[in-house]
């Protein structure tokens, strides 16, 4: 798939260390970013990276070395450095040799692409962005507006001393639109068309992400929000669009269920979890309507892959079924540490960081309610879309989220816009108030591109797909008084 990486892999096998076990993950990344802001083409930005992360297990110890020097000498040096750390961690390590997975799979995987990035010439991409940009500038109160489009191709070759040889190629497409409206000291912002929600695939994904068609609507909404009422305050019904469900799932289901957090690895940085190991199998996380899966099967979703970065096979699993917590988000190492079943989610964000437990594709499965039925069942509430603000405690329990746009719901009907919509709650009780789950018609594949975690820090792509959902008795409020 990638001749250069395969050549390096073969070379490494010929000089492989005399260790109990080793893995080598080789990466080649090529990214291109285009943006037009206020009618001005911004500098084209390209990014090329190649690197290797070598992990050596000796005795009860493990060490890693990351290097961009993929020559034989460079890799030999990496072997020496990783072995040094394995030696020290053997005497002072938290994990034992039995905790390290011994991947041996051989496979190839590539993101399906219908229209490749390079099929559209650069000047035509620029023209597309210029058109989208013009469509955002609909009014004098639009003070900043931009359209962007990016592409990434990541090749990964993973090999191990147990015989693993896994080649994967991922194609990412990153469109986005944004409009800023202002009047005096009131500023409102709308984003869409794939902003903060990239996908795997090719240019065929643009239409599915409403790029660039969403441009005029986003601009109109930004302008309208300037004169909209503040979001009402009180305990009321709340309907979250998929564009906000992304964050709700991410922060109050995904993070608390990461097994490394439950094991305490993240206590100094990303935090712990209100979930404990004894809760799996019996704990009621949400209402009967809540079904959550780890699902690598949506191949256009951001974190779809065939194998994770420890070489474990990715397979769809229920995480929460009919509201009951079933299994954590833990890769093979975490599974070995706990004896629990998990999923294939040990992931590296970049070539120079070691794998840790991450969310991958974590989705709320569709229910049987249409959005119209949800709205019709609500006497007084708010509909919110597009995350703008997120904050949650270190055990992922007390949260407060804000959205770009809200709409009043009164007597079963959607009414006018409200601005600065926020809501707060507690994860442990919020999902119990899930009153309706949207059907396939409102189910959208989205994700986030900046999930931060780990020491050293890693920012990674995560996929979240969800329909719209209806929650009861939520504390809702607007901007500062």
Partner 1 sequence: MQQYFYTLGDALFEKLEGAEQLLLGFSGEDSDFVRLNHNKIRQAGCVAQRSLSLDLVAGQRHAQTSVELTGDSALDMEQLTATLKKLREQRGFLPDDPYLNFSTAINSTEYHHDNEVIDSHDAVAQLVQAAGDMDLVGIFANGIQYSGFANSLGQRNWHSSANFNFDWSCYLAEDKAKANDRAVKSNYAGFDWQQGKLAAKMDSIRQQLSILSRPSKTIEPGRYRAYLAPSAVNEIIHMISWGGFGLKSHRTKTTPLIQMVEQGRSLAESVSLRENHARGLAPIFTGSGYIKPDHVQLISNGHYQDCLVSSRSAMEYGSVTNADYEFPSALDLAAGELHSADMLKQLDTGLYINNLWYLNFSDRNACQLTGMTRFACFWVEHGEIQAPVNVMRFDDSVFNLLGTNLLGLTEERELILDASTYGQRSNSSIELPGILVRDLRLTL
Residues 225-284, interacting with partner 1 (CB under 8 A): 263-265, 267-269, 271-274, 276
Of the candidates 265, 333, 356, the one whose C-alpha atom is nearest the C-alpha of residue 97 is: 333
Phi and psi, residue 262, nearest 5°: -65, -30
* Those residues with Cβ within 8 angstroms of residue 159's Cβ, 6 or more apart along the chain or in another chain: 9, 12, 13, 23, 24, 26, 165, 166
Q: Which of 35, 133, 244, 422 binds partner 1 (CB under 8 A)?
A: 422
Contacting partner 1 within 24-63 (CB under 8 A): 40-51, 55, 62-63
What is the closest distance, in whole angstroms, from the C-beta atom of residue 79 to partner 1 in the complex? 12
DSSP string, 422-470: EEEEEHHHHGGGEEEEB-GGG-EEEEEEEEEETTTTEEEEEEEEE--EE
Per the DSSP assignment, residues forming a β-bridge with 183 are 186
What is the closest distance, in whole angstroms, from the C-beta atom of residue 46 to partner 1 in the complex? 4
Contacting partner 1 within 291-350 (CB under 8 A): none
**371 within 8 A of 407, measured Cβ to Cβ:** no
DSSP string, 242-283: HHHHHHHHIIIIIGGGBHHHHTTTTTTTT---S--GGGTTT-
Q: What angle do CA 113, 204, 463 make, to 5 degrees?
A: 75
Q: Which of 18, 282, 339, 480 binds partner 1 (CB under 8 A)?
A: 480
What is the closest distance, in whole angstroms, from the C-beta atom of residue 280 to partner 1 in the complex? 16
Q: Is 420 in the site for partner 1 (CB under 8 A)?
A: yes
- Angstrom CA distances, 205 to 86, 114, 116, 200, stand at 44, 9, 10, 8
What is the closest distance, in whole angstroms, from the C-beta atom of residue 467 to partner 1 in the complex? 26
Distance in angstroms (rounded) separating the CA atoms of residues 251 and 437? 19
Q: Which of 10, 233, 429, 457 binds partner 1 (CB under 8 A)?
A: 457
User: Which residue lies nearer to partner 1 by CB, 258 or 317?
Assistant: 258
Q: Which of 390, 414, 433, 472 binds partner 1 (CB under 8 A)?
A: 390
What is the closest distance, in whole angstroms, from the C-beta atom of residue 383 to partner 1 in the complex? 19
Q: Is 94 in the site for partner 1 (CB under 8 A)?
A: yes
Of the candidates 47, 56, 48, 46, the one whose C-alpha atom is nearest the C-alpha of residue 25 is: 56
What is the closest distance, in whole angstroms, from the C-beta atom of residue 448 to partner 1 in the complex? 14
Of the candidates 231, 240, 243, the one whose C-alpha atom is nearest the C-alpha of residue 471 is: 240
Cis peptide before 410, with omega less than 30 degrees from 0? no
# chain residues binding partner 1, by CB under 8 A: 85
Of the candidates 219, 170, 240, 179, the one whose C-alpha atom is nearest the C-alpha of residue 198 is: 170
Distance in angstroms (rounded) separating the CA atoms of residues 239 and 248? 12
Pairing of strands 229-230, 413-419: parallel
What is the closest distance, in whole angstroms, from the C-beta atom of residue 437 to partner 1 in the complex? 26
User: Which residue lies nearer to partner 1 by CB, 143 or 432?
Assistant: 143
Q: Which of 7, 88, 341, 429 binds partner 1 (CB under 8 A)?
A: 88
Q: For the chain, how many residues are written?
A: 481
Phi and psi, residue 303, nearest 5°: -110, 40
User: Which residue lies nearer to partner 1 by CB, 148 or 442?
Assistant: 148
What is the closest distance, in whole angstroms, from the C-beta atom of residue 127 to partner 1 in the complex? 10
Q: Which of 392, 451, 462, 469 binds partner 1 (CB under 8 A)?
A: 392
Report how far apart the first and last C-alpha atoms of the chain are (Å, whole number). Answer: 58
CA 211 distance to own-chain centroid: 20
Contacting partner 1 within 347-386 (CB under 8 A): 352, 354, 356
What is the closest distance, in whole angstroms, from the C-beta atom of residue 423 to partner 1 in the complex? 10
Q: Which of 400, 433, 439, 449 binds partner 1 (CB under 8 A)?
A: 400
User: Which residue lies nearer to partner 1 by CB, 32 or 295?
Assistant: 32
Tokens representing 17 are: 């260390």
Q: Is 84 in the site for partner 1 (CB under 8 A)?
A: yes
What is the closest distance, in whole angstroms, from the C-beta atom of residue 349 to partner 1 in the complex? 9
What is the closest distance, in whole angstroms, from the C-beta atom of residue 475 to partner 1 in the complex? 8
What is the closest distance, in whole angstroms, from the C-beta atom of residue 377 to partner 1 in the complex? 27
User: Which residue lies nearer to partner 1 by CB, 35 or 446?
Assistant: 35
User: Which residue lies nearer to partner 1 by CB, 43 or 339?
Assistant: 43
Q: Is 398 in the site for partner 1 (CB under 8 A)?
A: yes
Residue range at the interface with partner 1 (CB under 8 A); choices 86-94, 161-169, 210-218, 441-449: 86-94
Q: Which of 97, 120, 126, 213 binds partner 1 (CB under 8 A)?
A: 126
Of the candidates 222, 215, 240, the one whose C-alpha atom is nearest the C-alpha of residue 399 is: 240
User: Which residue lies nearer to partner 1 by CB, 51 or 232?
Assistant: 51
Contacting partner 1 within 182-201 (CB under 8 A): 182, 184-187, 189
């Amino acid at each position: 798939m990638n001749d250069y990486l395969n050549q390096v892999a073969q070379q490494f096998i010929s000089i492989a260390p005399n260790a109990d076990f080793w893995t080598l993950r080789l990466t080649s990344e090529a990214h291109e970013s285009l943006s037009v802001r206020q009618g001005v083409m911004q500098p084209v930005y390209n990014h090329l990276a190649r690197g290797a992360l070598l992990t050596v297990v000796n005795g009860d110890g493990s060490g890693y070395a990351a290097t961009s020097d993929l020559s034989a000498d460079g890799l030999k040096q990496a072997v020496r450095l990783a072995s040094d750390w394995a030696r020290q961690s053997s005497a002072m390590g938290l994990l034992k040799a039995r905790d390290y997975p011994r991947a041996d799979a051989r496979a190839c995987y590539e993101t399906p692409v219908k229209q490749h990035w390079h099929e559209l010439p650069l000047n035509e991409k620029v023209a597309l962005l210029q058109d989208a940009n013009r469509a955002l500038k609909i009014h004098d109160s639009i003070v900043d507006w931009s359209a962007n489009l990016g592409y990434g191709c990541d090749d990964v070759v993973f090999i191990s001393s147990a015989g693993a040889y896994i080649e994967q190629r991922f194609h990412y497409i990153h469109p986005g639109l944004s409009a800023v409206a202002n009047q005096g000291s009131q500023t409102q912002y709308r984003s869409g068309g794939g902003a903060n929600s990239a996908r795997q695939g090719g240019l065929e994904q643009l239409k599915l992400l409403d790029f660039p068609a969403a441009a005029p609507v986003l601009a109109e909404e930004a302008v309208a929000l300037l004169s909209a009422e503040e979001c009402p305050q009180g305990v009321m019904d709340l309907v979250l669009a998929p564009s906000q469900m992304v964050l709700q799932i991410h922060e109050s289901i995904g993070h608390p269920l990461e097994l490394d957090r439950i094991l305490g690895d993240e206590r100094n940085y990303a935090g712990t979890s209100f979930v404990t190991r004894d809760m799996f199998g019996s704990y009621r996380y949400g209402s009967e309507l809540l079904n959550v899966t780890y699902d690598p099967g949506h191949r256009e979703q951001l974190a779809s892959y065939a194998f994770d970065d420890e070489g474990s096979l990715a397979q769809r699993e229920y995480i929460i079924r009919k509201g009951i917590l079933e299994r954590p988000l833990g890769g093979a190492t975490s599974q070995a540490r706990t004896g629990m079943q998990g999923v294939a989610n040990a992931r590296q964000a970049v070539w120079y960081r070691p794998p840790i437990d991450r969310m991958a594709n974590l989705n709320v499965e569709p229910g049987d309610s249409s959005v119209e039925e949800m709205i019709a069942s609500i006497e007084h509430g708010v509909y919110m879309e597009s995350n703008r603000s997120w904050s949650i405690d270190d055990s992922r329990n007390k949260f407060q989220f804000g959205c770009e746009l809200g709409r009043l719901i009164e007597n079963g009907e959607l009414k006018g816009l409200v601005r600065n919509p926020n809501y707060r709650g507690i994860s442990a009780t919020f999902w119990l108030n899930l009153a309706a789950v949207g059907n396939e018609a409102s189910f959208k594949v989205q994700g986030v591109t900046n999930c931060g975690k780990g020491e050293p820090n890693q920012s990674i792509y995560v996929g979240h797909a969800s329909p719209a959902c209806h929650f009861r008795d939520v504390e809702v409020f607007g901007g500062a008084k």
